[in-house]
Structure 1
Amino acid sequence: MVMKVYPPEFKADAVALYLSDPARTITSVARDLGISRETLRLWVRQAQAAGTAPAKARPVPKRAGAPLPSGDVEEENKQLKARIRELELERDILRRAAKYFAGGDQLVSRFQFVADHASAFGVKRLCRVLAVSRSGYYRWRSAAPGRAARAAADAELADRIKTIHAEFDRTYGSPRITAELRQDGARVNHKRVERVMRDHGIVGLHLRKKVRTTVPQPAAQTVPDLLKRDFTAAGPNQRYVGDITYLPLAEGRFLYLATVIDLHSRRLAGWSIADHMRTTLVADALRAAAATRAGTLTGTIFHSDHGAQYSSAEFAAVCRGLGVRQSMGAVGTSADNALAEALNAMLKRETLQGARCWPSARAARLAVFAWITRYNTRRRHSSLGYLSPIDYEQHPDKVLIAA
C-alpha cells in the first residue's frame, strides 16, 4: 500500500539516496522507493532550496566521449519537451494578453482575462503567468453578482443624470446634478455621481478664462469703493453689482447686455439688452431691478467698474432718483467687480456653448431671456447651498438640507 503522508525522515533519506549516487536517476530511485517521480523531484528541490542538500554531481564517464546512461537521456529529453510545451503555452497566453490589455493593464482586467481563458489554459497557469494570486482571483469571481448589481444601479443612475444634464442644456456638473437628484429623493453621494458621469462621458460646461471686453474709463466724478471686494450682503435688496457685456451676432454685429445682481441671493434682479452702449442701457437695467424690488431701491448700494456709462452724470442722477448709493472699484482692476463679470461670462458660455455667435438679434434675446429666467428660478448655485437665487430668498432655511 502506497503511503500518502511521508514522515520527514523518509523524505530526507530518499533525497540522500538519490544524491549519493550520481549515476542514479530520479526515476530509478522513485521506482525503488515506491513513490512517484514528481514527488521525489519535489522533495529534492525543497531540500536544495532549504540548503540541506547539495546539488547532485553529474556522473563522470569512464572514458572520454562515453555516452550518458540511457535513463538520464530519457529523463532530460522528457523535461526539455515539457518545458518547451510550457513555454509555448505561456507565449500564447502573453500574446492574447497583449491584445486584451490594449486599453490598460489593471488588476481587474487580469482577473477578467483569467476568467475568460480559464477553460483553455487553466486558472493556476494563467495566474502564474499574469502574476496574480489565485485567492485574489477567486475572491473577485465570488463578488461577481454584487458587481453586476452595482453596474445595473450605475446604469440606471446614468440615465437619470443624462436626463438632468440635457434639461439644463448640458451645463450642469456633478455638484449641481447631485443636488437635483437629492431634491428628487435620491440618496446619492456626490463622488458616485462624479464617477458615473466620468464613466459615461457626461461632462458639465467648463468656463474658460474670461477675456476682458470693457476698457475702464476714468470717472467723471469721485465715487468711493463701498464694497472693498466683499461681495456679500446680510439680506436681499441691500447691495448690488452690475456690468456690461457684449453679445456677438452674425456678420460682426453686437448686442449689449447690462446686469444688476443682488449680492445676497445672486439674483439677477434687473437687466437690459440694446444695440448700443449708451447710458440708457445701464439706467434701464437699474430701473428694472427697482421694479423687481417692489419699486424701491432706497438705501441700497450699486457697485460697478469705471465704465463711461456708470461714471456719467446721467447715471448718477438715476441713482439719486432711486435712492441708490454708487460704488466703484479701482480703475482698470477687474477683480473689484469680479462677481458681475463672472456671471456675464457664465451666461455667454452656457448659452453659446462653443458657438462663435448667435445667428440673429432675436435668437440672442430669446436665449438670454430663457437663461436668466432659469438662472433665477431653477439653476442651483454652489454658494447658496445649491438652491436657486429665488428659492434662497424665500427659503434660506433649506440651505443645509440642499447642501
Structure 2
Amino acid sequence: MKQVEYELVAEDHKAGIKFSVSRVLHKLGLSSSGYYDYLKRKPSYQDKRRQDVKKAILQVYEESHENYGAPKIAKILNSGGITITERTVGVYMRQMGIRAQWVKPHTQTTIHSDFSGKLKNLLDRNFSPDHPNCVWCTDITYIHTQLDGFVYLACIMDLYSRKIISWKLTKTLDTGPILESIKEARKQRPANEPIMIHTDRGVHYTCDLYRKLTRGMVRSYSAKGVPYDNACIESFHSLIKREWLNRFVIQNYRHAYRLVSEYIDGWYNPKRIHSHCGYMPPTEYEVMYPRTSTN
C-alpha cells in the first residue's frame, strides 16, 4: 500500500503540482527516507506493466474524443490482447484524472398536436429488429447557437444497427425543412417491404405532409408524454450533445452543421463502438449482417 502512495506523490510531483513533499509525506504517515528509497529503485515488472496499461487506456480515451468510459475501454483493450477488468480500468482512470463525459438532464421539446386520430404504438419498445431497414425511428432536438439562436436537428435512426441513416439541420421548426430527412432516408434506403417508422406525437409527425412522405410505411407513435417509447433516438440526441456539441460555444448555423457532420458522419456511424452492436460501430455492424444472417 505504501508503494502505491509513494507512486501517487511522485506522479503529482512530476506533473508539476507545487507542494511540499515532506509535508505531504508527514500527513500521509509516510517516511521521507522510504519515499526517496522508492525513487531510487528501478521499476518492477508490475510497475512497468501498470504504466504501459495506463498509456494504452489514455490512447483509447483520446481516440474516442474523451468519450469512452471504463466498460468500452476495457472491451477494446481486451480485444487488442491486454487482459484487464473494467474495474481496474476505472481505478486507473480515476488515478489519471480522466472520465467519460457526463450525462446532461433530458429536456422535453416536443409540442404535441391535437390530432384526434388513433395513434398506436406498434413498436411497443421492441428496439431490436432482426435485420436492417426494418424499423426506423426519428425525433427532433434543438441546438443553441450564439448568433442564430436555436437550430433544430432531425435524425432518422435504423434500430437494427442504431445507425443514423439521415439527418437534417434547420434554422426553423417549419415542417417542410424538418421532414426533408425522411425524403433523404427513403432515397438512401429504398425497400420493397413496408418499413415501420416510429415517432412521438408532435405536430411534425401527424401532419398531412408527414403522412404523404411516409405513404406505404407502417407508422407507430409513442404514448403521449412517454419519451421512453422512443428511447433510442432520444438517447442519441443526448449522446451527441454530451459527447460533442456541449464542448463548444457554437457560433451559428454553419458551425453547428459542421459539428453535427463531424460527429455523425465522421465518428458515430463509422467509428464509435456500441454495446448493442457487439462493440462494433453501426456501419460495420450493418456490413456484417449478410455474413451472420441465416435468411
Letter in 2 for 1:210: H
1:203-242 CA-partner distances (Å, limit 9, x unpaired): 1112122122223333354321101222221111111111
Aligned equivalent of 1:263: 159
Whether the aligned pair in 2 keeps the contact of 1:219 and 1:307 (CA below 8 Å) is no
Equivalence for 1:224: 120
Question: Aligned partners of 1:275, 1:297: CA distance in 2, in Å?
Answer: 34
Partner Cα distance (2:261, 2:239) in 1: 14
Cα distance in 1 between the residues matched to 2:230 and 2:156: 12
CA separation in 2, counterparts of 1:287 and 1:210? Answer: 28
- Return the alpha-carbon distance in structure 2 between the equivalents of residues 250 and 153 of structure 1: 47
Bigger radius of gyration: 1
Q: Name the residue aligned to 1:30.
A: none
Aligned to 2:12: none
Against the structure 1 CA distance between its residues 270 and 298, is the aligned structure 2 distance closer, same or farther, given a 3 Å change threshold?
farther
1:242 aligned partner: 138
Paired residue for 2:197, among 291, 296, 302?
302
Aligned to 1:313: 208
Q: What letter corresponds to residue 88 of structure 2 in structure 1? A: R
Among 50, 54, 64, which residue is 1:158 paired with? Answer: 54
What do residues 227-260 of structure 1 show as CA deviations (whole Å, max 9, x unaligned)?
1222221111111111000111004612111111
State, as a whole percentage, how many aligned pairs show the same letter: 25
Q: TM-score, normalised by structure 1?
A: 0.60
2:285 aligns to what?
Answer: 392
Query: Within the alignment, does 1:102 sit opposite 2:27 as a pair?
Result: yes
Which letter maps to 1:349?
R
Is 212-221 or 357-366 further displaced after alignment? 212-221
* Residues 284-341 of structure 1 deviation map (CA, whole Å, 9 limit, x = unaligned): 1122222332x33741110100111111011101100xx2111111112222212211
Report what 1:367 is aligned to.
259
Greater per-residue helix proportion: 1
Q: Structure 2 vs 1, CA of residues 396 and 149 (structure 1 numbering), >3 Å: closer, same or farther?
A: farther
Distance 2:290 2:26 in 1: 52
Q: CA RMSD in A?
A: 2.9
Q: How many residues matched?
A: 269
Paired residues of 1:282 and 1:310 also in contact (CA < 8 A): no
Q: Distance in 2 between matches of 1:313 and 1:398?
A: 40
Counterpart contact for 1:218–1:307, Cα < 8 Å:
no
Give the structure, 1 or 2, with the largest relative contact order (CA under 8 Å, sep 6 or more). Answer: 2
Give the direction of change, closer, same or farther, for the CA distance of 1:365–1:149 in structure 2 (3 Å limit): same
Say yes or no: does 1:188 pair with 2:84: yes
Gap change, CA 1:102 and 1:287, over 3 Å in 2 = farther
- Richer in strand (by share): 2
Q: Distance in 1 between matches of 2:197 and 2:178?
A: 11
Misfit runs of 4+, over 4 Å:
96-99, 396-399
